[in-house]
Structure 1
Amino acid sequence: MASKPEVKDLLEAGVHFGHLTRKWNPNMAPYIYMERNGIHVINLYKTVAKLDEAKEALKKIASSGRKILFVATKKQAKDIVADKVSKVNMPYITERWPGGMLTNFVTIRKAVKKMAAIDRMKKDGTFNTLSKKERLQVDRLRAKLEKNLGSIADMTRLPGAIFIVDTMREHIAVKEAQKLNIPIFAMVDTNSDPRPIDYVIPANDDAGKSIEAILGEVTSAVAEGLADRKNDKQEEKAEAKETAEAPQEEVVAAVEEAPAKEEETITEVETVVEETPVEVVEEPKEAPAVAKAEVEDLTKIEGIGPKAAEALSNQGINTYAILAKTDAEKIKEILTEASSRMAHLDPTSWGKQAQMAADGKWDELKEWQDKAKGGVE
């Protein structure tokens, strides 16, 4: 279990320093402790509480197998994000944010696939057949793509969440994530608007030490979620192996003992019946047991985020089988009533995906999602 962040550690890292009072955003007032020397001071107790909440949510997303995209293009955050995020094998953007990175993800995937095509050319010898000028142009193109998109080469579908350092600088990323209803986690300084952010972490987003302190806590939570997912998979494999290797002798012995036990039971029943008085008292009938449906992770369906899954679960749609039988129009009404921000979601394909998940056809579902919009073409 990762240790909880301490106010003392955040204070030493300078997380509490905000911007000049004249540059503040009034919506950040709940997170401001005081004003000193013309600078706002952030309430670190609220920062710790919000950071704990964000870490728990990120851990859950990581354990579900979804990717978390980290975005930080400002100079003092680039190296810190690249270093810490690469250790947990998550995608990140530290160069210019490519417009349509999320809303036009299919086109971005084409650019990433172009890098793979150039690499294949170099391996099969096609690259050497080009002229010197063409080879130079291809090398430059490969270097440019690697610089801008190399860190997201393994992100074959839309991320389950996005973490942003400095929401004012990355306002385009915020708008794209909002449009697709992707949960937004962010370090928000006193000059930024916290309203569009789902998980606000009030903190100094300009100092390197502050960014490193927050990123260290966040990536440790992601690493913990990935470790939980790995342990769960190992336990499932162990259980499957034990079931497959069940001793045949126990099964045979159980079959042989069954008739003998049945005869003993019949004899005991006959004896009890003979000794029982004539007076018969009717016993109350037991109420039939109602099997409680196990709640399943609906976020594995392409297009369903944590908030949409929660809205559906509140209406009793908490398994793949139920989702597969629910009309798309009804789902649309449930989402719109839960939040106007989910009104744009298109649930027409959710039933088909849910049916594949209910039937256990995970490979087929993954292949379908990769071919769908937002995945590999």
Structure 2
Amino acid sequence: MVKVGLHFGHQARKRNPKMAPYIYAEKNGIHIIDLIQTYSHLKQVCQVLAQNAAQRKTFLFVGTKKQAAKLVANTALECNAFYVNQRWLGGMLTNWQTMKKSIAKLNELEAAEKRGLFKTLPKKEAASSKKRKDRLEKYLGGLKNMLTIPDIVIIVGQPEEMNAVRECKKLGIKTITILDTDCDPSLADLFIPANDDSVRSLKFIFTQFSTAIQQGTAKAVTKQSLNSKQFKSK
């Protein structure tokens, strides 16, 4: 955890006072996060993720900061979750019915492109359809198979994702957040106090998340298989 820099917080002047209990010390004007608490919170969160995955709950990863975007997408795909890594569109969850229509349009345009239908359209119309498809893919590509709002939203970069935080609060969706020293723990249901700017730090945490979700999913599959065999034997 030290090697990947989980303990490095922000400059002391940027501290959110509510993060004080999770700060170990200040060194050269930088706050140092208490890694004992980081470890404890990470362990608790991974247990919750595994338990929920075993119950077939759905997860949405949210992180649009440049250093987090690729990791967010890769981790979500790795554990069969959903993601938003470019921009949180207003009403993405609170106006889900409208968002579903946009996702359906994206799937429709993708299917049309795969069938070669764009090539049969007039040049201007084909270009317009391609442009629309690419835009929808950019912002909604990680939600293509999400049929309902998620059970748990995992957030990195809380200050940048306040719209997502507010929508989750409004809908009562449980959130898990990686909190740096400039964040507000009172806005998260579960959290890990840790460096949310370093790619190495985020990769370490996301690896733990992915493993926990995959382990929980494996348990669910095993349980379903056993139940199926028992049913057939009867």
User: What is the DSSP-based 3-state SS (H/G/I as helix, E as strand, rest coil) of the residue aligned with 2:86?
Assistant: coil
Tell me the residue number matched to 1:231: 222
CA contact (8 A) 2:60 2:76 kept: no
CA contact (8 A) 2:107 2:144 kept: no
1:42-86: CA deviations, max 9, x gaps? 000001111111111111221111210001101111112222221
Q: Number of residues paired by the alignment?
A: 234
- Identical columns (%): 38
Tell me the residue number matched to 1:195: 186
Amino acid of the residue matched to residue 20 of structure 1? Q
User: What is the DSSP-based 3-state SS (H/G/I as helix, E as strand, rest coil) of the residue aligned with 1:106?
Assistant: helix
Tell me the residue number matched to 1:135: 126
Amino acid of the residue matched to residue 73 of structure 2? A
Tell me the residue number matched to 2:103: 112
Shift in CA distance, 224/148, structure 1 to aligned 2, threshold 3 Å = same
Tell me the residue number matched to 1:76: 67
Answer yes or no: is 1:175 the counterpart of 2:166. Answer: yes
Amino acid of the residue matched to residue 31 of structure 2? H
Question: After TM superposition, what 4+ stretches of structure 1 lie above 4 angstroms from structure 2?
Answer: 122-129
Stretches of structure 1 lacking an aligned partner (at least 5 in a row) = 1-9, 244-377
Alignment of 1:78-93 (within 5 A): 78-93=69-84
Tell me the residue number matched to 2:140: 149
1:120 Cα deviation from its structure 2 partner: 4.2
CA contact (8 A) 2:38 2:192 kept: yes
Residues of 2 paired with 1:74 and 1:201: CA distance?
18
Q: Which TM-score applies when normalising by structure 1?
A: 0.60
CA contact (8 A) 2:8 2:195 kept: yes
Amino acid of the residue matched to residue 148 of structure 2? R
1:128 Cα deviation from its structure 2 partner: 4.6
Shift in CA distance, 210/124, structure 1 to aligned 2, threshold 3 Å = closer
Residues of 1 paired with 2:15 and 2:117: CA distance?
57
Pick which of 78-87 and 175-184 moved more.
Answer: 78-87
Amino acid of the residue matched to residue 103 of structure 1? T
1:187-246: CA deviations, max 9, x gaps? 000111110100010000011111111111111111111101110110011101111xxx
Residues of 1 paired with 2:115 and 2:39: CA distance?
53
Residues of 2 paired with 1:93 and 1:194: CA distance?
22
Tell me the residue number matched to 2:3: 12
1:147 Cα deviation from its structure 2 partner: 1.4
Residues of 1 paired with 2:112 and 2:74: CA distance?
30
Residues of 1 paired with 2:23 and 2:80: CA distance?
34
Shift in CA distance, 130/39, structure 1 to aligned 2, threshold 3 Å = same
Tell me the residue number matched to 2:41: 50
Answer yes or no: is 1:205 the counterpart of 2:193. Answer: no
CA contact (8 A) 2:156 2:179 kept: yes
Residues of 1 paired with 2:119 and 2:211: CA distance?
45
Tell me the residue number matched to 2:149: 158
Residues of 1 paired with 2:114 and 2:65: CA distance?
36
**RMSD between superposed Cα atoms in Å:** 1.4
User: What is the DSSP-based 3-state SS (H/G/I as helix, E as strand, rest coil) of the residue aligned with 2:5?
Assistant: coil
Q: Give the number of the structure with larger relative contact order, counting CA–CA contacts within 8 Å between residues 6 or more apart.
A: 2
Residues of 2 paired with 1:23 and 1:210: CA distance?
20
Q: 2:56 aligns with which of 42, 62, 65?
A: 65
Q: 1:220 aligns with which of 211, 218, 221?
A: 211
Residues of 2 paired with 1:62 and 1:174: CA distance?
22
Stretches of structure 2 lacking an aligned partner (at least 5 in a row) = none
